[in-house]
Amino acid sequence: MSHDENLHWESYLPAGWRPLFRQLLADLHSAGISVRVTQAKEKFGELRVYIDRPDQAAAPLIAAAEQRSTRMCQECGAAGELMVGNYLYATLCEKHGAGFTKPLGRPMISLNLRYPKDD
């Protein structure tokens, strides 16, 4: 999929992370990596980018962009940190973090793993 076809996902992102997403697409293109983005979003205060198939060359570039988002205000792109307010996590700068507080830790993501029953 082309850079322009993947670019439509930026409208699903907070304004402060849109340049980060565009840079990721440019980095993938410059590296000759052709992937189709199937989803791009904010989740627990971090950028998440999903592609149509596993790609060992794309994975480190995507992971680096996702990691940069943890230090970048999702509203304006300035330096930010993880904040919580009304049970919502967001990465925000001091200006956009008004009304939010620093969480005690990272959001807990629980998994429900099922194991086969022993016979």
Asked whether the predicted pLDDT for residue 27 surpasses 70, the reply is yes
Question: What pLDDT is recorded for position 118?
Answer: 60
The pTM is what? 0.84
Which one is predicted more confidently, 109 or 76? Answer: 76
Question: What pLDDT is recorded for position 105?
Answer: 74
Asked whether the predicted pLDDT for residue 117 surpasses 80, the reply is no
Question: What pLDDT is recorded for position 11?
Answer: 95
Burial tier of 79 (Cβ tally within 10 Å: 0-12, 13-18, 19+): exposed
Q: Could you state, in order of their start, the residue ranges of all structural domains in the chain?
A: 3-71
The whole-angstrom separation of Cα 73 and Cα 79 is 6
Between 58-69 and 18-30, two packed helices, what is the crossing angle to 10 degrees?
Answer: 160
Mean pLDDT, rounded, for 84-101: 93
